[in-house]
Structure 1
Amino acid sequence: MSETQRKLTTIFAADVQDYTRMMGEDEEGTLAMLKHYRDAMSRLITSHGGRVVNTWGDGLLADFPSVVEAVRAAIDVQNELAGKNAARPMDGRMLFRIGINLGDVIVEGEDIYGDGVNIAARLQTSAPAGGIVISNTVYDQVRNKVAVGFDFLGALEMKNVADAVPSYVVRIGDIGIQPQEPTASPDRTVEMPAPRPAPAPPPRGRLRKLAGILAVIGAMLVVINIATWEGEFWAVWPLLAFAFVAAMIWVRMQDRFDQRIAALAVVGVGIVVINMLTWHGIFWAIWPLLGLSVAAGIRWAMRD
Protein backbone atom coordinates (compact mmCIF):
# COMPACT_ATOMS: atom_id res chain seq x y z
CA MET A 1 0.00 0.00 0.00
CA SER A 2 1.47 3.36 -1.04
CA GLU A 3 2.30 6.01 1.52
CA THR A 4 -0.09 8.93 1.95
CA GLN A 5 0.98 11.91 -0.14
CA ARG A 6 0.55 15.50 0.93
CA LYS A 7 0.89 18.82 -0.84
CA LEU A 8 0.41 22.51 -0.24
CA THR A 9 -2.26 23.84 -2.58
CA THR A 10 -4.95 26.48 -2.97
CA ILE A 11 -8.43 25.04 -2.52
CA PHE A 12 -11.40 26.61 -4.30
CA ALA A 13 -14.87 25.53 -3.10
CA ALA A 14 -18.18 26.73 -4.58
CA ASP A 15 -21.88 26.00 -4.26
CA VAL A 16 -25.22 27.56 -5.22
CA GLN A 17 -27.21 29.81 -2.90
CA ASP A 18 -30.84 28.58 -2.46
CA TYR A 19 -30.27 25.53 -4.66
CA THR A 20 -32.93 23.48 -2.84
CA ARG A 21 -35.56 26.17 -3.45
CA MET A 22 -34.65 26.43 -7.13
CA MET A 23 -34.87 22.66 -7.57
CA GLY A 24 -38.27 22.64 -5.90
CA GLU A 25 -39.58 25.26 -8.33
CA ASP A 26 -38.07 23.89 -11.58
CA GLU A 27 -35.90 20.77 -11.49
CA GLU A 28 -35.10 20.47 -15.19
CA GLY A 29 -34.50 24.18 -15.72
CA THR A 30 -32.30 24.41 -12.62
CA LEU A 31 -30.20 21.40 -13.66
CA ALA A 32 -29.73 22.80 -17.17
CA MET A 33 -28.69 26.19 -15.75
CA LEU A 34 -26.34 24.52 -13.24
CA LYS A 35 -24.61 22.59 -16.03
CA HIS A 36 -24.28 25.73 -18.16
CA TYR A 37 -22.89 27.81 -15.29
CA ARG A 38 -20.58 25.05 -14.04
CA ASP A 39 -19.18 24.56 -17.55
CA ALA A 40 -18.33 28.28 -17.64
CA MET A 41 -16.75 27.99 -14.19
CA SER A 42 -14.67 24.96 -15.20
CA ARG A 43 -13.45 26.76 -18.32
CA LEU A 44 -12.28 29.77 -16.30
CA ILE A 45 -10.66 27.56 -13.65
CA THR A 46 -8.68 25.72 -16.33
CA SER A 47 -7.69 28.98 -18.04
CA HIS A 48 -6.10 30.13 -14.76
CA GLY A 49 -4.10 26.92 -14.34
CA GLY A 50 -6.50 25.26 -11.92
CA ARG A 51 -8.00 21.76 -11.88
CA VAL A 52 -11.57 20.75 -11.08
CA VAL A 53 -11.16 18.04 -8.45
CA ASN A 54 -14.77 17.05 -7.95
CA THR A 55 -18.39 18.08 -8.43
CA TRP A 56 -21.38 16.93 -6.42
CA GLY A 57 -24.94 18.19 -6.28
CA ASP A 58 -24.58 21.94 -6.67
CA GLY A 59 -20.99 22.00 -5.40
CA LEU A 60 -17.59 22.22 -7.08
CA LEU A 61 -14.10 21.68 -5.66
CA ALA A 62 -10.93 22.77 -7.47
CA ASP A 63 -7.29 23.33 -6.63
CA PHE A 64 -4.63 25.69 -7.97
CA PRO A 65 -0.84 25.70 -7.76
CA SER A 66 -1.00 29.53 -7.64
CA VAL A 67 -2.86 31.44 -4.93
CA VAL A 68 -3.08 34.57 -7.07
CA GLU A 69 -4.55 32.69 -10.03
CA ALA A 70 -7.12 31.02 -7.77
CA VAL A 71 -8.41 34.42 -6.63
CA ARG A 72 -8.32 35.80 -10.16
CA ALA A 73 -10.28 32.78 -11.38
CA ALA A 74 -12.90 33.32 -8.65
CA ILE A 75 -13.28 36.99 -9.60
CA ASP A 76 -13.61 36.10 -13.30
CA VAL A 77 -16.17 33.42 -12.43
CA GLN A 78 -18.35 35.79 -10.42
CA ASN A 79 -18.12 38.54 -13.03
CA GLU A 80 -19.03 36.20 -15.91
CA LEU A 81 -21.90 34.60 -14.00
CA ALA A 82 -23.15 38.06 -13.00
CA GLY A 83 -23.37 38.89 -16.70
CA LYS A 84 -25.37 35.73 -17.36
CA ASN A 85 -27.66 36.43 -14.40
CA ALA A 86 -28.31 40.02 -15.46
CA ALA A 87 -30.68 38.84 -18.21
CA ARG A 88 -32.71 36.70 -15.79
CA PRO A 89 -35.44 37.73 -13.33
CA MET A 90 -34.29 38.16 -9.75
CA ASP A 91 -35.89 34.93 -8.52
CA GLY A 92 -34.43 32.95 -11.44
CA ARG A 93 -30.76 33.86 -10.95
CA MET A 94 -28.23 31.23 -9.95
CA LEU A 95 -25.73 32.76 -7.50
CA PHE A 96 -22.60 30.87 -6.44
CA ARG A 97 -20.71 31.34 -3.17
CA ILE A 98 -16.95 30.77 -3.31
CA GLY A 99 -14.46 30.06 -0.52
CA ILE A 100 -10.68 29.92 -1.05
CA ASN A 101 -8.04 28.59 1.34
CA LEU A 102 -4.33 27.85 1.11
CA GLY A 103 -3.48 24.74 3.07
CA ASP A 104 -1.79 21.36 3.29
CA VAL A 105 -3.97 18.52 1.97
CA ILE A 106 -3.88 14.74 1.64
CA VAL A 107 -3.80 13.48 -1.96
CA GLU A 108 -5.41 10.18 -2.93
CA GLY A 109 -5.58 9.66 -6.66
CA GLU A 110 -7.39 12.68 -8.11
CA ASP A 111 -9.05 13.64 -4.79
CA ILE A 112 -7.83 15.87 -1.96
CA TYR A 113 -8.79 15.72 1.73
CA GLY A 114 -7.98 17.35 5.05
CA ASP A 115 -8.47 20.51 7.09
CA GLY A 116 -7.40 22.66 4.14
CA VAL A 117 -10.41 21.41 2.16
CA ASN A 118 -12.77 21.68 5.14
CA ILE A 119 -11.79 25.30 5.76
CA ALA A 120 -12.40 26.24 2.11
CA ALA A 121 -15.85 24.63 2.32
CA ARG A 122 -16.65 26.55 5.55
CA LEU A 123 -15.48 29.82 4.00
CA GLN A 124 -17.78 29.17 1.08
CA THR A 125 -20.79 28.94 3.39
CA SER A 126 -19.81 32.32 4.89
CA ALA A 127 -19.67 34.03 1.48
CA PRO A 128 -22.53 36.23 0.27
CA ALA A 129 -24.49 35.08 -2.78
CA GLY A 130 -22.32 35.94 -5.78
CA GLY A 131 -19.35 36.66 -3.51
CA ILE A 132 -15.96 35.32 -2.45
CA VAL A 133 -14.46 34.78 1.02
CA ILE A 134 -10.77 33.96 1.51
CA SER A 135 -8.71 32.84 4.50
CA ASN A 136 -5.88 34.88 5.97
CA THR A 137 -3.35 32.49 4.37
CA VAL A 138 -4.72 33.45 0.96
CA TYR A 139 -4.99 37.14 1.84
CA ASP A 140 -1.33 37.31 2.84
CA GLN A 141 -0.33 36.11 -0.63
CA VAL A 142 -2.67 38.22 -2.79
CA ARG A 143 -3.30 41.51 -0.96
CA ASN A 144 -0.81 43.44 -3.13
CA LYS A 145 -1.21 41.39 -6.30
CA VAL A 146 -4.92 41.53 -7.16
CA ALA A 147 -6.64 44.82 -8.00
CA VAL A 148 -9.66 44.43 -5.73
CA GLY A 149 -10.46 45.43 -2.17
CA PHE A 150 -10.76 43.21 0.89
CA ASP A 151 -12.93 43.60 3.99
CA PHE A 152 -11.89 41.88 7.21
CA LEU A 153 -14.64 39.62 8.56
CA GLY A 154 -12.96 38.70 11.80
CA ALA A 155 -11.89 35.24 12.97
CA LEU A 156 -14.60 32.81 11.88
CA GLU A 157 -15.37 29.85 14.11
CA MET A 158 -15.66 26.68 12.05
CA LYS A 159 -17.12 23.30 12.92
CA ASN A 160 -14.47 20.58 13.39
CA VAL A 161 -11.65 23.14 12.97
CA ALA A 162 -9.67 23.75 16.17
CA ASP A 163 -8.79 27.41 15.68
CA ALA A 164 -10.89 30.27 14.34
CA VAL A 165 -9.81 31.38 10.86
CA PRO A 166 -9.27 35.10 10.15
CA SER A 167 -11.14 35.73 6.91
CA TYR A 168 -11.79 38.42 4.31
CA VAL A 169 -14.52 39.07 1.79
CA VAL A 170 -13.31 40.07 -1.67
CA ARG A 171 -14.90 43.36 -2.67
CA ILE A 172 -16.28 42.94 -6.21
CA GLY A 173 -19.05 45.24 -7.46
CA ASP A 174 -21.85 45.60 -4.92
CA ILE A 175 -21.17 42.18 -3.34
CA GLY A 176 -20.00 42.35 0.23
CA ILE A 177 -20.58 41.55 3.87
CA GLN A 178 -20.67 44.10 6.63
CA PRO A 179 -17.03 44.03 7.75
CA GLN A 180 -15.90 43.76 11.36
CA GLU A 181 -13.14 45.88 12.77
CA PRO A 182 -9.94 43.84 12.94
CA THR A 183 -8.86 43.26 16.53
CA ALA A 184 -5.22 42.32 16.02
CA SER A 185 -4.24 43.40 12.51
CA PRO A 186 -5.47 46.92 11.72
CA ASP A 187 -3.43 46.97 8.51
CA ARG A 188 -5.36 44.03 7.06
CA THR A 189 -7.98 46.09 5.20
CA VAL A 190 -6.78 47.15 1.77
CA GLU A 191 -8.49 50.18 0.25
CA MET A 192 -8.34 49.65 -3.51
CA PRO A 193 -10.96 50.69 -6.05
CA ALA A 194 -13.16 47.90 -7.32
CA PRO A 195 -14.88 47.95 -10.72
CA ARG A 196 -18.59 48.70 -10.60
CA PRO A 197 -20.84 46.21 -12.35
CA ALA A 198 -22.75 47.25 -15.44
CA PRO A 199 -26.42 47.98 -14.80
CA ALA A 200 -28.64 44.99 -15.41
CA PRO A 201 -30.48 45.03 -18.74
CA PRO A 202 -34.29 45.02 -18.83
CA PRO A 203 -35.93 41.59 -18.37
CA ARG A 204 -36.29 39.51 -21.53
CA GLY A 205 -40.08 39.63 -21.37
CA ARG A 206 -40.09 43.42 -21.66
CA LEU A 207 -37.59 43.31 -24.53
CA ARG A 208 -39.73 40.81 -26.44
CA LYS A 209 -42.84 42.98 -25.94
CA LEU A 210 -40.98 46.04 -27.23
CA ALA A 211 -39.83 44.13 -30.31
CA GLY A 212 -43.44 43.01 -30.92
CA ILE A 213 -44.72 46.58 -30.64
CA LEU A 214 -42.12 47.77 -33.16
CA ALA A 215 -43.15 45.02 -35.58
CA VAL A 216 -46.83 46.07 -35.37
CA ILE A 217 -45.98 49.76 -35.90
CA GLY A 218 -43.76 48.86 -38.84
CA ALA A 219 -46.52 46.84 -40.49
CA MET A 220 -48.96 49.76 -40.05
CA LEU A 221 -46.49 52.17 -41.70
CA VAL A 222 -46.14 49.85 -44.70
CA VAL A 223 -49.93 49.70 -45.05
CA ILE A 224 -50.19 53.50 -44.83
CA ASN A 225 -47.38 53.93 -47.39
CA ILE A 226 -49.13 51.60 -49.85
CA ALA A 227 -52.55 53.16 -49.25
CA THR A 228 -51.18 56.66 -49.96
CA TRP A 229 -48.77 55.58 -52.68
CA GLU A 230 -47.22 58.44 -54.68
CA GLY A 231 -44.33 56.54 -56.21
CA GLU A 232 -42.04 56.62 -53.15
CA PHE A 233 -41.54 53.90 -50.54
CA TRP A 234 -40.81 56.28 -47.67
CA ALA A 235 -41.64 53.62 -45.04
CA VAL A 236 -38.22 52.05 -45.63
CA TRP A 237 -36.57 54.58 -43.30
CA PRO A 238 -38.70 54.05 -40.19
CA LEU A 239 -38.59 50.29 -40.94
CA LEU A 240 -34.80 50.46 -41.01
CA ALA A 241 -34.81 52.27 -37.65
CA PHE A 242 -37.18 49.67 -36.18
CA ALA A 243 -35.03 46.84 -37.54
CA PHE A 244 -31.96 48.40 -35.91
CA VAL A 245 -33.73 48.67 -32.54
CA ALA A 246 -35.01 45.08 -32.83
CA ALA A 247 -31.50 43.84 -33.63
CA MET A 248 -30.12 45.64 -30.58
CA ILE A 249 -32.87 44.10 -28.44
CA TRP A 250 -31.90 40.67 -29.75
CA VAL A 251 -28.24 41.35 -28.87
CA ARG A 252 -29.21 42.36 -25.31
CA MET A 253 -31.01 39.01 -24.90
CA GLN A 254 -27.96 36.90 -25.77
CA ASP A 255 -25.32 35.49 -23.42
CA ARG A 256 -23.54 33.22 -25.89
CA PHE A 257 -21.23 35.89 -27.28
CA ASP A 258 -19.78 39.32 -26.51
CA GLN A 259 -22.72 41.74 -26.66
CA ARG A 260 -20.56 44.80 -27.40
CA ILE A 261 -18.91 43.20 -30.42
CA ALA A 262 -22.34 42.04 -31.64
CA ALA A 263 -23.70 45.58 -31.24
CA LEU A 264 -20.81 46.94 -33.34
CA ALA A 265 -21.66 44.36 -36.02
CA VAL A 266 -25.32 45.49 -36.03
CA VAL A 267 -24.21 49.12 -36.47
CA GLY A 268 -21.96 48.06 -39.35
CA VAL A 269 -24.78 46.23 -41.12
CA GLY A 270 -27.04 49.27 -40.67
CA ILE A 271 -24.44 51.55 -42.25
CA VAL A 272 -24.07 49.22 -45.26
CA VAL A 273 -27.85 49.11 -45.74
CA ILE A 274 -28.05 52.93 -45.64
CA ASN A 275 -25.21 53.10 -48.18
CA MET A 276 -27.10 50.73 -50.51
CA LEU A 277 -30.41 52.58 -50.16
CA THR A 278 -28.76 55.92 -50.98
CA TRP A 279 -26.38 54.53 -53.59
CA HIS A 280 -24.68 57.12 -55.82
CA GLY A 281 -21.85 54.96 -57.10
CA ILE A 282 -19.61 55.31 -54.00
CA PHE A 283 -19.22 52.71 -51.26
CA TRP A 284 -18.53 55.26 -48.51
CA ALA A 285 -19.52 52.77 -45.79
CA ILE A 286 -16.04 51.23 -46.00
CA TRP A 287 -14.62 53.97 -43.76
CA PRO A 288 -17.00 53.68 -40.79
CA LEU A 289 -16.80 49.88 -41.19
CA LEU A 290 -13.03 50.12 -40.82
CA GLY A 291 -13.42 52.12 -37.61
CA LEU A 292 -15.97 49.66 -36.24
CA SER A 293 -13.65 46.76 -37.08
CA VAL A 294 -10.82 48.38 -35.14
CA ALA A 295 -13.12 48.93 -32.14
CA ALA A 296 -14.32 45.31 -32.29
CA GLY A 297 -10.74 44.05 -32.54
CA ILE A 298 -9.69 46.06 -29.48
CA ARG A 299 -12.70 44.77 -27.54
CA TRP A 300 -11.85 41.18 -28.54
CA ALA A 301 -8.21 41.59 -27.48
CA MET A 302 -9.18 43.07 -24.09
CA ARG A 303 -11.93 40.58 -23.25
CA ASP A 304 -11.63 38.74 -19.92
Structure 2
Amino acid sequence: MEAPEPEKRQVTAIMSTAMVGPGSQLQSLEFPLLEEHARLVRELLPRHGGREVKMMEDGFLLEFERGLSAVRFGVALQERVAGRNRLAAPDQRMELRVGVHLGPVVHQNGEVFGEGVNLAARLEALAQPGTLYVSEAVAREVEGHPLPPAHRLGRSELKRIRLPVAVFRIEPRRNVVRPALFARFRSLFFTQRRASS
Protein backbone atom coordinates (compact mmCIF):
# COMPACT_ATOMS: atom_id res chain seq x y z
CA MET A 1 0.00 0.00 0.00
CA GLU A 2 1.46 3.36 -1.09
CA ALA A 3 1.93 6.12 1.46
CA PRO A 4 -0.26 9.19 0.86
CA GLU A 5 1.41 12.10 -0.85
CA PRO A 6 2.46 14.80 1.66
CA GLU A 7 0.53 18.06 1.72
CA LYS A 8 1.96 20.99 -0.24
CA ARG A 9 0.82 24.49 0.65
CA GLN A 10 1.11 27.43 -1.73
CA VAL A 11 -0.68 30.53 -2.98
CA THR A 12 -2.39 30.05 -6.33
CA ALA A 13 -5.36 31.40 -8.28
CA ILE A 14 -8.34 29.05 -8.16
CA MET A 15 -11.16 29.35 -10.68
CA SER A 16 -14.59 27.78 -10.44
CA THR A 17 -16.83 27.71 -13.53
CA ALA A 18 -20.44 26.63 -13.88
CA MET A 19 -22.56 26.40 -16.98
CA VAL A 20 -26.04 27.88 -17.06
CA GLY A 21 -28.30 26.36 -19.67
CA PRO A 22 -31.35 27.70 -21.50
CA GLY A 23 -33.82 29.06 -19.00
CA SER A 24 -31.08 29.05 -16.34
CA GLN A 25 -32.20 25.61 -15.17
CA LEU A 26 -29.57 22.96 -14.50
CA GLN A 27 -31.96 20.22 -15.55
CA SER A 28 -32.26 21.85 -18.99
CA LEU A 29 -28.55 21.47 -19.69
CA GLU A 30 -28.01 19.11 -22.57
CA PHE A 31 -25.03 16.79 -22.85
CA PRO A 32 -23.77 18.33 -26.12
CA LEU A 33 -23.59 21.76 -24.45
CA LEU A 34 -21.65 20.32 -21.52
CA GLU A 35 -19.28 18.64 -23.97
CA GLU A 36 -18.79 21.91 -25.82
CA HIS A 37 -18.09 23.72 -22.56
CA ALA A 38 -15.42 21.12 -21.77
CA ARG A 39 -13.90 21.44 -25.25
CA LEU A 40 -13.65 25.23 -24.98
CA VAL A 41 -12.07 25.05 -21.53
CA ARG A 42 -9.51 22.41 -22.54
CA GLU A 43 -8.66 24.21 -25.77
CA LEU A 44 -7.92 27.55 -24.08
CA LEU A 45 -6.42 26.33 -20.79
CA PRO A 46 -2.88 25.43 -22.02
CA ARG A 47 -2.54 28.85 -23.69
CA HIS A 48 -2.90 30.53 -20.32
CA GLY A 49 -0.82 28.19 -18.20
CA GLY A 50 -3.77 26.75 -16.33
CA ARG A 51 -4.33 23.29 -14.89
CA GLU A 52 -7.55 21.32 -14.77
CA VAL A 53 -8.04 20.12 -11.21
CA LYS A 54 -11.33 18.38 -11.90
CA MET A 55 -14.50 18.50 -13.94
CA MET A 56 -17.70 18.78 -11.95
CA GLU A 57 -21.33 18.20 -12.89
CA ASP A 58 -21.78 21.60 -14.54
CA GLY A 59 -18.30 23.12 -14.66
CA PHE A 60 -14.64 23.00 -13.75
CA LEU A 61 -12.23 23.63 -10.91
CA LEU A 62 -9.08 25.14 -12.44
CA GLU A 63 -5.77 26.39 -11.08
CA PHE A 64 -3.35 29.10 -12.24
CA GLU A 65 -0.07 30.40 -10.85
CA ARG A 66 -1.32 34.00 -10.95
CA GLY A 67 -4.61 35.82 -10.78
CA LEU A 68 -3.73 37.68 -13.98
CA SER A 69 -3.42 34.42 -15.94
CA ALA A 70 -6.74 33.22 -14.55
CA VAL A 71 -8.53 36.42 -15.57
CA ARG A 72 -6.99 36.37 -19.05
CA PHE A 73 -8.27 32.82 -19.45
CA GLY A 74 -11.70 33.65 -18.02
CA VAL A 75 -12.14 36.67 -20.29
CA ALA A 76 -11.06 34.66 -23.35
CA LEU A 77 -13.46 31.86 -22.40
CA GLN A 78 -16.43 34.18 -21.88
CA GLU A 79 -15.71 36.00 -25.16
CA ARG A 80 -15.55 32.68 -27.03
CA VAL A 81 -18.87 31.65 -25.51
CA ALA A 82 -20.44 35.01 -26.44
CA GLY A 83 -19.17 34.64 -30.02
CA ARG A 84 -20.51 31.10 -30.21
CA ASN A 85 -23.91 32.22 -28.91
CA ARG A 86 -24.29 34.81 -31.68
CA LEU A 87 -24.48 31.91 -34.15
CA ALA A 88 -26.58 29.55 -32.02
CA ALA A 89 -30.34 29.05 -31.84
CA PRO A 90 -31.91 30.57 -28.71
CA ASP A 91 -32.45 27.15 -27.11
CA GLN A 92 -28.82 26.18 -27.77
CA ARG A 93 -27.12 29.17 -26.16
CA MET A 94 -24.93 28.65 -23.13
CA GLU A 95 -23.75 30.98 -20.41
CA LEU A 96 -21.04 30.55 -17.81
CA ARG A 97 -20.54 31.88 -14.32
CA VAL A 98 -16.90 32.26 -13.27
CA GLY A 99 -15.36 32.94 -9.85
CA VAL A 100 -11.65 33.51 -9.17
CA HIS A 101 -9.75 33.86 -5.89
CA LEU A 102 -6.03 34.15 -5.21
CA GLY A 103 -5.01 32.65 -1.91
CA PRO A 104 -3.42 29.77 0.00
CA VAL A 105 -4.44 26.24 -0.90
CA VAL A 106 -3.32 22.73 -0.03
CA HIS A 107 -2.26 20.25 -2.74
CA GLN A 108 -2.47 16.54 -2.08
CA ASN A 109 -2.80 13.60 -4.49
CA GLY A 110 -3.67 15.88 -7.41
CA GLU A 111 -6.52 17.56 -5.52
CA VAL A 112 -6.70 21.12 -4.18
CA PHE A 113 -8.25 22.01 -0.82
CA GLY A 114 -8.63 24.99 1.45
CA GLU A 115 -10.18 28.41 1.80
CA GLY A 116 -9.03 29.47 -1.67
CA VAL A 117 -11.14 26.74 -3.24
CA ASN A 118 -14.17 27.56 -1.09
CA LEU A 119 -14.00 31.29 -1.88
CA ALA A 120 -13.68 30.69 -5.64
CA ALA A 121 -16.80 28.51 -5.50
CA ARG A 122 -18.73 31.14 -3.53
CA LEU A 123 -17.71 33.88 -5.98
CA GLU A 124 -18.84 31.72 -8.90
CA ALA A 125 -22.21 31.10 -7.24
CA LEU A 126 -22.69 34.88 -6.91
CA ALA A 127 -21.56 35.72 -10.44
CA GLN A 128 -23.95 36.91 -13.10
CA PRO A 129 -23.88 34.67 -16.20
CA GLY A 130 -21.35 35.93 -18.75
CA THR A 131 -19.14 37.64 -16.14
CA LEU A 132 -16.22 36.92 -13.82
CA TYR A 133 -16.46 37.66 -10.10
CA VAL A 134 -13.03 37.99 -8.52
CA SER A 135 -11.58 38.73 -5.11
CA GLU A 136 -9.62 41.89 -4.31
CA ALA A 137 -6.27 40.10 -4.58
CA VAL A 138 -7.12 39.12 -8.15
CA ALA A 139 -8.44 42.60 -9.00
CA ARG A 140 -5.14 44.14 -7.84
CA GLU A 141 -3.16 41.89 -10.19
CA VAL A 142 -5.37 42.81 -13.15
CA GLU A 143 -5.11 46.57 -12.57
CA GLY A 144 -3.07 48.33 -15.26
CA HIS A 145 -3.25 45.46 -17.75
CA PRO A 146 -5.15 45.61 -21.08
CA LEU A 147 -8.21 43.76 -19.81
CA PRO A 148 -11.79 44.80 -19.04
CA PRO A 149 -11.78 46.73 -15.74
CA ALA A 150 -12.72 45.18 -12.41
CA HIS A 151 -15.64 47.02 -10.76
CA ARG A 152 -16.04 46.73 -7.00
CA LEU A 153 -19.53 45.62 -6.03
CA GLY A 154 -21.54 47.31 -3.33
CA ARG A 155 -23.46 45.55 -0.59
CA SER A 156 -26.79 45.85 -2.38
CA GLU A 157 -25.39 44.07 -5.44
CA LEU A 158 -24.35 41.11 -3.28
CA LYS A 159 -27.88 40.66 -1.88
CA ARG A 160 -26.79 40.73 1.77
CA ILE A 161 -24.29 37.90 1.28
CA ARG A 162 -21.08 38.81 3.06
CA LEU A 163 -17.76 37.30 2.11
CA PRO A 164 -14.43 37.69 3.93
CA VAL A 165 -13.11 39.43 0.79
CA ALA A 166 -14.20 42.37 -1.35
CA VAL A 167 -15.90 41.26 -4.56
CA PHE A 168 -15.23 42.69 -8.04
CA ARG A 169 -17.07 42.08 -11.33
CA ILE A 170 -15.28 41.85 -14.69
CA GLU A 171 -17.46 42.01 -17.78
CA PRO A 172 -15.76 40.65 -20.91
CA ARG A 173 -16.24 42.48 -24.17
CA ARG A 174 -19.24 40.97 -25.94
CA ASN A 175 -19.04 42.62 -29.34
CA VAL A 176 -15.39 42.55 -30.27
CA VAL A 177 -14.80 43.64 -33.86
CA ARG A 178 -11.91 41.74 -35.32
CA PRO A 179 -9.17 44.09 -36.66
CA ALA A 180 -8.98 42.29 -40.01
CA LEU A 181 -12.75 42.50 -40.48
CA PHE A 182 -12.76 46.18 -39.50
CA ALA A 183 -9.92 46.90 -41.95
CA ARG A 184 -11.84 45.17 -44.74
CA PHE A 185 -14.95 47.31 -44.13
CA ARG A 186 -12.84 50.47 -43.93
CA SER A 187 -11.07 49.61 -47.18
CA LEU A 188 -14.41 48.94 -48.92
CA PHE A 189 -15.85 52.21 -47.59
CA PHE A 190 -12.94 54.34 -48.83
CA THR A 191 -12.88 52.53 -52.21
CA GLN A 192 -16.57 53.36 -52.72
CA ARG A 193 -16.00 57.00 -51.71
CA ARG A 194 -13.16 57.41 -54.19
CA ALA A 195 -15.24 55.82 -56.96
CA SER A 196 -18.19 58.15 -56.34
CA SER A 197 -16.09 61.37 -56.15
1:38 correspondence with 2:38:
yes
1:77 correspondence with 2:73:
no
1:14 correspondence with 2:37:
no
Gaps of 5+ in 2: 185-197
Cα distance, 1:4 vs. partner?
2.2
**Structure 2 residue matching 1:8: 3-state secondary structure:** strand
Distance in 2 (alpha carbons) for counterparts of 1:67 and 1:198:
23
Match of 1:197 among 145, 168, 175: 175
**Bigger RCO of structures 1 and 2 (CA < 8 A, at least 6 apart):** 2
Contact 1:12/1:98 (CA < 8 Å) preserved in 2?
Answer: yes
| RMSD, matched Cα | 2.6
Gaps of 5+ in 1: 24-29, 174-195, 200-257, 265-304
TM-score computed with the length of structure 2 as normaliser: 0.78
TM-score computed with the length of structure 1 as normaliser: 0.52
Cα distance, 1:142 vs. partner?
1.2
Distance in 2 (alpha carbons) for counterparts of 1:69 and 1:3:
27
Distance in 2 (alpha carbons) for counterparts of 1:19 and 1:88:
18
- Which is helix-richer, 1 or 2? 1
Distance in 1 (alpha carbons) for counterparts of 2:146 and 2:25:
30
4+ residue stretches of structure 1 with deviation over 2 A? 1-4, 89-92, 154-159
* Residue in 2 that maps onto 1:140: 140
Contact 1:9/1:63 (CA < 8 Å) preserved in 2?
Answer: yes
Q: Which protein has the larger Cα radius of gyration, Structure 1 or Structure 2?
A: 1
Task: Write the letter of the residue equivalent to 1:6.
Answer: R
1:50 correspondence with 2:50:
yes
Distance in 1 (alpha carbons) for counterparts of 2:9 and 2:161:
23
Cα distance, 1:68 vs. partner?
1.1
Task: Write the letter of the residue equivalent to 2:26.
Answer: T
For residues 124-169 of structure 1, give each alpha carbon's deviation from its aligned partner in whole angstroms, at most 9, with x where no partner exists: 111111111110010111111242122111366768xxx5320110
Distance in 2 (alpha carbons) for counterparts of 1:172 and 1:150:
10
